[in-house]
Structure 1
């Protein structure tokens, strides 16, 4: 159990030197990688993360205290892949009456990858059914890597955005119950420079726009090989009036041509924030017409509104992957672009 001392002081202390707010408070089980957050109808929060068969925890509030529940896939995935014993990069959504956790099966740096699905009616430990691959797969030589899935439900349409390095971020449509792909993959974001370090996309609808958030830079191994300054993880965004393409940054540069506006980057004691998701915060009792995002239905929090959550390194603690922490911030869209 870990309680983060400098986060507990309050919700949004301004980091004056950087212009970014520090992460919100977290207590309990806070050392995680690639968080995915959802709230059950009874108000309980569930947070899924990479490792140990998709480990997950629950809490009565986003601040915690977070208590470990168990694993979604304690015996690994049924997908026939060399990474099946260690599924990772979860995305948690509610589709109809079922809770969906999408996951990736791969090895670090490999294109031999697939996206799978597990479902549950309750999210209780032991209640998960593994459905294996949803038909989004990649092999050596493909333009994309089939990892880091994210589902957007937009009316009657289901969009799965995914990808990591190679030609970066792609998208497919899924069937009505969001269990299998029904289209070919199309490219929605690409950085042509260097190693093309774009991954972990999250598509979010707010107002008239679809916002494509993603992680840019080097994610991992900071304790053994720290990247050059500015090359570590950061969170960027592009937007479009369509969920399927033509995303541009705040300067009008296409996201498929290296565009991307920084939302959150290293500041103060926060280093390498990424693996992000966005939620309009979570319980159906807070249904409004203001937030038109349909990530888990149309949800918002009357106090916080949309929330950006991610993992990061606290430089006062350590840079190892196992020391990464759960971070979150309320985000403001009033200027047309998300601001932390």
Structure 2
């Protein structure tokens, strides 16, 4: 485990942190995008902060272990002229960084809350910490036009070709091919629609991110649903082709607006509270880090009863049938090890991510056993290294993964579980001492 003695526990909050950006670390991170360069991990994030004097320009942080973060600065000193002139934006949103050849490309969005008069631009640099030179417009949209030019993410397909996925409320999520020589659209137009939600929920989908997993030969589309202030949560679907169609674990296409809005997309992370810990509210707008064979979800979240927002990084576990599930605990440097059945017996706290309830989910206390005569317990079976199934007389069986974790509420090592049933309903949890 990474030494955590310098990391404040969740309830330890020094107000001076909000006044000194050099101390922000994981505070004030919104819409984080992650990129690894050499031994360093970099997070670029939206111009959003609680406390201090507001500054525009895209926040930059870096870390060598994904736990301890240090402030780097901002990519710009102000909103670039073309973006500001088109949108009137006072800050920049949802950046994303990639590299073509020897040049880094920083994509950013400019808009105003609730509007579609929006602008995605790009800047370049020969060093990931800048200086950045603005190269202007990638795509822009007019008010009430349909697509909304925010939330860009550059994804690379299995052939090495780049694409941009972008969009949000109002028009849905779009995908367009990128010319790696310019960093801009390879073809005219707005791209292809790959996901949307019904007008009855205000089309509440945004923050798209696509990652390819070569082991399963699928592209995975992560999106955030609902209100970023209260009911934000992360869902996922997959496709054999980067252009889609993207379908969830029940085979529902992400463009389906005939079904009830919460029936589409597999919910993998939402608001929750474990015993003895804070309530984490509205996790979302994630990026994905693929670091050798490990995958991590990087997202922002709010703490109930406090203003502001925080950076969380969690390991992704992959089911045997190729679905990503998110750890219920933040990454703390734990190393992979084989989890045996004796390691998982006993009392657990679990969170059930109900697809129809996007408020806070409280912990459920369950017992995991190998005895089939206890109707109140889950019976566990191990069928491969770290792969387990849970059976209950009262609930559908759940298939998932057990891995080493860190219990941030109890401040001890633990085992965490990530699983789903045949309908794509997700249960996560941690073993209690």
With the length of structure 2 as denominator, give the TM-score of the two structures.
0.62
User: 1:194 is matched with which residue: 198, 201, 222?
Assistant: 201
| 2:219 paired with 1:210 | yes
Q: Identify the residue that residue 339 of structure 1 maps to in structure 2.
A: 325
CA distance in 2, matches of 1:29, 1:276: 15
Matches within 5 A, 1:153-168: 153-154=156-157, 155-168=159-172
Matches within 5 A, 1:45-64: 45-51=41-47, 52-64=56-68
Q: Pick closer, same or farther for the CA change 1:139–1:330 going to 2, 3 Å.
A: same
**What is the total number of aligned residue pairs between the two structures?**
283
1:3 Cα offset (Å): 4.3
Q: Do the aligned residues in 1 keep the contact of 2:122 with 2:135 (CA within 8 Å)? A: yes
Q: Identify the residue that residue 79 of structure 2 maps to in structure 1.
A: 76
Structure whose residues are more often strand by fraction? 2
User: 1:32 is matched with which residue: 29, 35, 55?
Assistant: 29
SS in 1 for 2:317: coil
1:171 Cα offset (Å): 1.1
Q: Do the aligned residues in 2 keep the contact of 1:3 with 1:28 (CA within 8 Å)? A: no
CA distance in 1, matches of 2:11, 2:325: 19
CA distance in 2, matches of 1:103, 1:27: 21
Q: Do the aligned residues in 2 keep the contact of 1:73 with 1:130 (CA within 8 Å)? A: no
1:330 Cα offset (Å): 0.6
CA distance in 2, matches of 1:93, 1:103: 12
Where in structure 1 are there 5+ consecutive unaligned residues?
A: 9-25, 221-226, 282-299
Q: Identify the residue that residue 107 of structure 2 maps to in structure 1.
A: 102
| Bigger relative contact order (CA 8 A; separation at least 6) | 1
1:4 Cα offset (Å): 4.3
Q: Pick closer, same or farther for the CA change 1:83–1:279 going to 2, 3 Å.
A: farther
1:29 Cα offset (Å): 4.1
Q: Which structure 1 residue ranges, 4+ long, deviate > 2 Å from structure 2?
A: 26-31, 82-85
| Partner deviation per Cα, 1:17-46 (whole Å, 9 max, x = no partner) | xxxxxxxxx9834331111111212x1221
Q: Identify the residue that residue 271 of structure 1 maps to in structure 2.
A: 281
Q: Do the aligned residues in 2 keep the contact of 1:72 with 1:128 (CA within 8 Å)? A: yes
CA distance in 1, matches of 2:24, 2:185: 38
SS in 2 for 1:253: coil
1:132 Cα offset (Å): 1.2
1:310 Cα offset (Å): 0.1
CA distance in 2, matches of 1:115, 1:181: 11
Q: Identify the residue that residue 255 of structure 1 maps to in structure 2.
A: 254
| 2:153 paired with 1:150 | yes
Q: Identify the residue that residue 16 of structure 1 maps to in structure 2.
A: none
SS in 1 for 2:255: helix
| Partner deviation per Cα, 1:86-124 (whole Å, 9 max, x = no partner) | 121111222221222110011111111111111221123
Q: Pick closer, same or farther for the CA change 1:32–1:233 going to 2, 3 Å.
A: same
